[in-house]
Chains A and B, each alone.
Chain A
Amino acid sequence: MRLKATLATLLAATILSTASMAQAETLRLLTWGSYAPDELVKKFEAENPDIKVEVTFSNNEEMIAKLRATGGAGFDLAQPSHDRIYAAQLEYDIYKALDLSKINTDAMEKSLLDGVKANTTIDGGVYAVPHQWGTSGLMADKSKAPDLKSWSDLCDPKYKGKTSMRLKRTILLGTAFAMGHDPFAAYSDLDKYQSILDEVVDKLIVCKDNIKAYWKGGDDLSAMMLSGEIVGSETWDSTAYKLYAENPNIVFVPPTTGALAWIDTFAIPRKGKADDAAYKWINFVLQPENVTIMSGSTGAIAAVKGGLDLLPADKKAAVNASFTPADIDNLKFFANIPPGVEDMEGKALEKIKASTGG
């Protein structure tokens, strides 16, 4: 009798404990490196003791590849850039429409919110809201390359062997702008876009000789820049800001045709299992005191009202050293990538890479 009772108690205890374990939710976050600083994760978990945060660091392409592989399962919140959602959703159906009523959209900078909404609305559903924005542009060592101002200056023989770029779509677009085209406008006419790309490819093949090496990540770019092996490069603004802290001569330079602006967003994968936790995280990182911590880690500007002012002091100084209000007005936001463009751009990049003419 007694044995039976003991067993029953044990069994009950086991069931209870597993039940309570099951109650603890896991928020599986798929985001960029530095977009989930430990400090914020701990704070969030302290405020929401029933939620555990698991972070996977990735980039735009891998985020889509990972979600595509599972049809949108395995993660509860993803942070792709605003221009990489529409086509991916159309082709692979990996996200679910957001319930905007659960998000504190009032805190967001209206222009950015509207822009992202416009970019990511399919059949009336909104698939993303903005989180942070930043730009891609140029970086120069003022003491060695004071005149580096345009995308095409990277190909200036003056800096032969002293410049770098990343062989990805950003440089294709930047170069197109520098050549007087508007590639985003040409997205609606792919034949025209192809002709622009052909011109860009020719230019960048000739430019190859001028380039020291194509950088592959923030680390090798930083090393080349800090060591003085290169004096100017295409860059992400956050990388430039980090280098500014180490060498104030290294500044972010918005190209004359405008820095290319991206907005990293929040999107919920189609088979996400912790939507409530995801919304909680979104609202959590929008709180002003958390924005500063986040921006300190990422170097990007939060898409909240007064986001620029919420930057930590050193980042703010770096931004101010780089941007004038006119530069901000001149920002070119990446346009939605229509289906097929990735293939065209990929082929263009391959041609440049494989070419030995330079």
Chain B
Amino acid sequence: MTTSPAYDLECINLSKNFGPVRAVDDVSFTIPSGSFFSILGPSGCGKTTLMRMIAGFEDPASGDIRIKGKSVIDKAPNKRNVKMVFQHLALFPMMNVYENIAYGLKCNGASKAEIEARVRDVLDRIALPDVAEREIHQLSGGQKQRIAIARCMVLDPDVLLLDEPLGALDLKLREAMKIELKLLQHQFNTTFVYITHDQSEALVMSDHVAIMNQGKFEQIGTPQELYHAPNTSFVAGFVGDSNRWSGRMTVINGDTATVETDAGLTLLCSPAGSIRPEAGQSVEIFVRPEFIHAHRQDTSPAEDEPAPVNQLDGKVDSLLFNGANSRVLVRSSSGQLIEADVTLTGGTDDLRPGEAVRLVWSPQQTMCFRT
């Protein structure tokens, strides 16, 4: 084990152009062995191209890809020990489950007995021991998902690539598969590289997430880092929900700064991002709904609120009930809609539409980025 390199997958300065479009722009990253790594970005950000380069279906314009420390740039796709679960799974409809899983082993020239043993083993591990003789169209969506993973895992890949494989599932199944994928990854202890545009998939399952935008990685970090300490305004906006304003920074004083929004509001905030904004620059301000407290204006807030705070008065526009994640939409005097988390107990204490409320949040939870 001492000889094995620390990283299962390394990408070094990868670039790829499609005509004038730079689909992947100088991307570098490393993935430690046995981790669940997600690449999260809006559609068209280049994440699929990046994955296809790793799998060998696209040739990078420049840069290097190393698997277990060895460059695979000159290897054909079928010679790379990187397996891929396709978006629509690409199970072979003319083969049954057993043949689908055995296909890769046969290509590797495994003996009949070995194939038999390994297919049975992998089917046990994905907890579907009895489906070997079924045809693909007889499987449920979740079963297909697991067979697609088993088909790759039976080959002991160094890296498993997953290209938004949950996209086609209905919501309930998708939630269940998120957890199952994470468990499978633990069980196989193989590096998973998961591509998605769905942040909840990425945040729930991943050890590390890379946020990709316009061919570049904006930030790589743990889900918590990305959520609480985004490096750029794009990450702040893309990961999780935020209320956002744009404005200009007027005064900076250590960790706290004063900004004036375009609507004329004055807010206190903490400068954030890898390049901190300076006084006089235009900024974007993000506040997550869970950090905003909404009070009725007639009830005086608890006096232990730390000062200084940001305050904003408005009227409840509507209530968005979603159990523990319920929110209130407040229309400020300037007309902007602001979301804040609230607890709706169903009692008489709950906010009602039309009520005047005061929104309060702390400057520490108010991130402002240079634009």
Question: A and B touching (C-beta < 8 Å)?
Answer: no
Where the two chains meet, the residues of B that have a C-beta atom closer than 8 Å to any C-beta of A are none
